[in-house]
Structure 1
Amino acid sequence: MAVAARRIGAETSATRTLILEATEKLIREEGYAAVSSRRVAARAGLKPSLVHYYFPTTDDLLIEVSRRGAAESDRMIEEAFASDDPMRALWGFFIDSSRTAMALEFMAMANHRDALRAHMAAHSEAMRRRQVEILGHLLGDRRLAALDCPPEALSVILAGIGRAIVMEANLGVSDGHEAARAFVERWLDQIAPAQAVRADA
């Protein structure tokens, strides 16, 4: 006898959105270890069974919260690339501290949850490919050859420096940050003058 598939709530449901928002707030305020169906339900003003109805496992819930955050990051990157000064807007994205708390929590979670780690890795790789594609278009083969810096390396360098600044600042460390920011901004002035980038885009 066939076993009926478990029904999962619709993705457009307001209740589902409420659960996700409650989970995000719980992670920001108390950390990922506080996430459970009971705690999320209490925060959302719902019964725990409703959380399970929409998200049968904790991994399902956390992956969807991560997916929402990833979609927001994708949107911000596309906005940066569509701006009048895309290189500096991309740098601004990398040093934006508004997502720090969630990013740190999810990095910690990924160390303990294989499904979440796989999802985050897949999104990171897709985001990197998109950045490389656009950086190559913005700078062009000639400028990249003159720099001797492929777009893959440029993406990693900007993201790595930005991430280090943001994560250290979250700990209260600021030594060297002003100098690093100034260095990157001077470097961008040399490799991607704002007017030249707009002309190539």
Structure 2
Amino acid sequence: MTSPAAARGQEVRRRLLGAAIELIPELGWSAVSTRVLADRAGVTPSAVHYHYPSLTALLNEAAAGCLREVLDGAWSALDGARTADDVFDAVLGSVDRYTGDDPVSLLAIEACLAATRDPELRDLIREVFAEYRRGLARLLGERGVPAPEATASVLTAAVDGLLLHRGIGAGGDAADRAAVASVLRRLAGNGEAR
């Protein structure tokens, strides 16, 4: 049984993480301050440092947790993927709701940029993506795709690139999914372009 104090602490941590997930895409990584974050979470600034060793540690945990949740959610689209073509379509379909300038896309972009300067964040994000790629490679291998690890890496990177392009209005929207899937299949050596 959790004590009332422990339950309150968990609630404050949940609110701080939620506020960080809102503020990172809203303001940009470097503009999120302890005061702004605490205000959004409805706590005092001292609560941030009571629950986390630093603001950076809190932002890192929030970003990595959000990315893990998004990628874990992508697996539901892959549940019914019986063929390699189904996998390609499902991966691309799982990102249809992201426009590139929506809060989740912006959080991912901000986090990846911040990770270029923060080795701890880089390690967290690297492991989140590596876990997803390992599962995707296993799925691709089970469906006969040649070089499944490399294919999973390229497929993941291609999807990330498409989202970046969507964010700046350079194409890659959901309507292009069939054409993009066809090209990715051909590049992976899994079928002819259609």
Give TM-score scaled by structure 2 length.
0.76
Q: Shift in Å at residue 16 of structure 1?
A: 1.0
Shift of 1:135: 1.4
Instruction: Quote how far apart the aligned CAs of 1:92 are.
Output: 1.8
Q: CA deviation at 1:42?
A: 1.3
Letter in 2 for 1:185: A
| 2:67 is the alignment partner of 1:66 | no
- Residue ranges of structure 1 left out of the alignment (5+ in a row): 1-8, 193-201
Which range is displaced more, 121-130 or 80-89? 80-89
| Corresponding residue number in structure 2 for 1:117 | 122
| Counterpart Cα distance in 2 of 1:122 and 1:90 | 19
Which runs of 5 or more structure 2 residues have no equivalent in the other structure?
A: 1-5
Partner of 2:3: none
Alpha-carbon RMSD:
2.9
Cα separation, partners in 2 of 1:152 and 1:11, compared to 1, 3 Å: farther
Counterpart residue number, 2:89? 88
- How far, CA to CA, are the matches of 2:70 and 2:155 in structure 1? 15
The one-character-per-residue Cα deviations of 1:66-107 (angstroms, maximum 9, x if unpaired) are 232133123223212213544411222355525311111001
Q: 1:129 pairs with 131, 134, 155, which one?
A: 134
Measured against aligned partners, the alpha-carbon deviations of 1:33-74 in whole angstroms (never above 9, x if no partner) come to: 122221111111210111111112123202210232133123
Matching residue of 1:105: 110
Counterpart of 1:40 in 2: which secondary structure? helix
> 2:126, 2:140 → 1: CA distance?
21
| Residue range with higher mean Cα deviation, 94-103 or 39-48 | 94-103
Residue-pair matches, total: 175
Q: Which moved more, 1:80-89 or 1:181-190?
A: 181-190
Q: Which amino acid aligns with 2:131?
A: A
* Equivalent AA in structure 2 for residue 14 of structure 1: E
Decide whether the 8 Å contact of 1:95 with 1:162 is kept in 2: no
Q: Deviation per CA, 1:135-177: give whole Å up to 9, x if none.
A: 112x13xxx3xxxx31123212322322222101211222x77
2:42 matches 1:45: yes
Structure having the higher Rg: 1
- Between the aligned partners of 1:11 and 1:46, the Cα distance in structure 2 is 12
1-structure distance, mates of 2:181, 2:156: 14
- TM (norm. structure 1) is 0.74
Percent of residue pairs identical: 29
Question: Does 2:163 correspond to 1:184?
Answer: no
- Change beyond 3 A, Cα 1:179–1:10: closer
Distance change in 2, residues 1:35/1:79 (3 Å): same
| Structure 2 Cα separation of the partners of residues 178 and 44 of structure 1 | 34
* CA 1:171–1:157: 2 relative to 1, 3 Å: same
Counterpart check, 1:24 vs 2:26: no
